[in-house]
Amino acid sequence: MRRPALALGLLLVAAVLSGCTEDSEPRTLRVLASPELVDMEPLLDDLRDDTGIDLDLDYKATPDLSGSLDGYDFAWPATDRSYLLRLGASGEPVARPESTAVMRSPVVVGLTGAAADRLRGGAPGKRLSWADIADAAAAGSLRFGMADPRRSDTGRAALVGVATAAAGTGRALRTQDVSCDRLRGFRSGQTLTGASSRELIDTYVRRQDDADALIAHESELLTLNASRKLRRPLEIVHPEDGMVLSDFPLLLLNTGESRAYREVVDWLHRDETQRELVRRTWRRPATQDVPRPVELREDIGNALSYPDRPEVVRRLMDDYGTPGRSTGDHVVFLLDFSTSMRGPRMAALRAAFADLSGADPSAAGKFARFYRGEKLTVVRFAGRVLDERTVTVRGDKDLKALQSFVAEGEFGDDTAVWSALGHGYTSASGALREHPDRPLSIVLMTDGESNAGLSYGEFTRRHARIGSAARAVPTFPVHFGEADAKALRRAADATGGRMVDANSSSLSQAFKEIRGCR
């Protein structure tokens, strides 16, 4: 009697097990994912085989995961920083979702061999920085591609990285660090873009002659090099002034799927899986014990902090505007050439213009320099307007012409500060009628009190009668020597600008401080 009972039990167990194997279907979970993660699909087949969980990736994730998240179980962006900023600024009592880093990749620069050699030739220790990239872009000697920071995680991370390097503080960007746009020279070199880094790279493959560099995740550039789609592989440069690091976190949106989330995370963190991630995607492992190929052994170095206030990121994107726009700013310089400027003061002014033309080797100087496409008007004045010159920067020839105009100018008696400023606004009115979309600002430099021409009251009355567009142009007075600081500050406040004191630093530093302000 025992044998039949035992046999029957074994048959029942076998039937149950057989039924489970044959009838079980993979459990499908919807994931809002970064477009970059399309390279994960082969690995996700292994996840399904090992765990019975099928991740259905919808490649529509924006940098801040804007839009409805209903219907998604997980989110998988390149980074969750912008999303968390948006969540914190919403004012709603929403708990932060559980988030786990899966893999890592810094935003770096891929340079053609010729561009890398050219840039390294002028870099101390042959180490390149974001400042070097910005300097070359401003000079017109480097053209680059970067994804649109308004729509791409990678583009936004790149923008934050460059802006953090431009601020030079070594910490997360603050509101005051982005009060003036320091990236105009850098932006002037952008020739390629895309809604995502994948779109950018596809465009570059078709148009390799249109750019000397790509700014993207290290993993994407290494994947591109391995694809054999390029005539020559790009040289990967890790800027020495720091990089923003993406950690591709998996976020739990549907708390009802906590158990499945933990199972997926555990599978992704297995050493075997991490090794496959490295091999297939060229991203760095999230766990320390997994070996890396030689291409991923470069030290990330200074990982730059992301801003902790959403308005800082918004200001950056507003300033950057449409990637690759060709119209540069217009700056009108009103320069005091009264006799009190003779000697060391004029030497300081001419040195300041040389620095803005590319002579300043510091990082701040490289971000503040005149750039290709920028329109510059220089007005020399004393007791009256002495002369005027306008150039649009296309190369060194234009910058040398401008420096010569400043260097060879004659001096005059008296100082008509407010007449000069009135002339500046007349020039601004004409310029805005011709190019209403071109940003314009006025820089007024004087070393003495106004003793000729219009009074301040007459200037303000005339200023009130000009068109609204010209009236909105800010003036940035540079206080130098014995100039009337109170009067200059009053003019700055009345026009929406800001006074800078060159006596406490230098003319070169003062001009750099107000570059990009409006």
pLDDT in tens, 47-92: 999 999 999 999 999 999 988 999 999 999 999 999 999 988 887 7
Among the candidates 258, 286, 319, a domain finishes at 319
Say whether both 158 and 197 belong to one domain.
yes
CA-to-CA separations, 399 to 295, 335, 391, 395, 396, in angstroms, rounded: 41, 17, 8, 7, 5
SS3 for 39?
helix
Give the pairing type, strands 375-381 and 330-336. Answer: parallel
Residue of 431, 274, 412, 261 lying closest to 341 (CA atoms): 412
Here the CATH number for the domain that contains residue 137 is: 3.40.190.10
Q: Is 2 exposed, middle or buried (0-12, 13-18, 19+ CB in 10 A)?
A: exposed
Instruction: Identify whether the C-beta of residue 461 lies closer than 8 Å to the C-beta of residue 426.
Output: no
- Measured distance CA(322)–CA(230) in Å, rounded: 27
Total structural domains within the chain: 3
Quick one: pLDDT at residue 299? 84
- Is the residue at 14 inside a domain? no
φ and ψ of 284, to 5 deg = -80, 145
- Is the residue at 137 inside a domain? yes
pLDDT in tens, 164-175: 999 988 899 999
Say whether both 238 and 252 belong to one domain.
no
Helix axes 310-320, 81-89, angle to 10 degrees: 120
Say whether both 257 and 386 belong to one domain.
no
Quick one: pLDDT at residue 328? 87
Say whether both 510 and 404 belong to one domain.
yes
CA-to-CA separations, 193 to 93, 239, 334, in angstroms, rounded: 37, 21, 37
- Is the residue at 77 inside a domain? yes
Give the global pTM: 0.89
Give the pairing type, strands 440-446 and 245-246. Answer: unpaired
CA-to-CA separations, 144 to 188, 210, 224, 314, in angstroms, rounded: 10, 8, 16, 23
Say whether both 186 and 82 belong to one domain.
no
Say whether both 111 and 92 belong to one domain.
no
Give the pairing type, strands 235-237 and 99-101. Answer: unpaired
The two tokens of residue 156 are 């936004």
Say whether both 133 and 80 belong to one domain.
no
- Is the residue at 182 inside a domain? yes
Say whether both 498 and 351 belong to one domain.
yes
The two tokens of residue 211 are 């750019």
Q: Scanning the structure block, which residue is given the tokens 């057989």?
A: 18
What's the domain range around 271?
27-103+247-296
What sign does the dihedral 436-439-445-449 (CA atoms) show?
positive
Here the CATH number for the domain that contains residue 391 is: 3.40.50.410
Segments of the chain with pLDDT less than 50: 1-23
Say whether both 46 and 142 belong to one domain.
no
- Is the residue at 43 inside a domain? yes
Half-sphere exposure of 424 (CA within 13 A, CB side): 34
Say whether both 258 and 283 belong to one domain.
yes
The CB density around residue 345, as the number of other CB atoms within 10 Å, is: 16
Which residues, in sequence order, are bridge partners of residue 100? 250
- Measured distance CA(268)–CA(277) in Å, rounded: 9
Say whether both 80 and 224 belong to one domain.
no
pLDDT in tens, 244-289: 999 999 999 999 999 999 999 999 999 999 999 999 999 999 988 8
- Is the residue at 262 inside a domain? yes
- Is the residue at 17 inside a domain? no
- Is the residue at 397 inside a domain? yes
SS3 for 191?
strand
Say whether both 506 and 382 belong to one domain.
yes
Sheet holding 500-501, edge to edge: 385-392, 375-381, 330-336, 440-446, 475-479, 500-501
Q: Report the percent of the chain where pLDDT is more than 70.
A: 95
Q: Scanning the structure block, which residue is given the tokens 């017109």?
A: 140
Instruction: Identify whether the C-beta of residue 164 lies closer than 8 Å to the C-beta of residue 242.
Output: yes
Enumerate residues 6+ apart whose C-beta is below 8 A from 454: 416, 418, 419, 422, 462
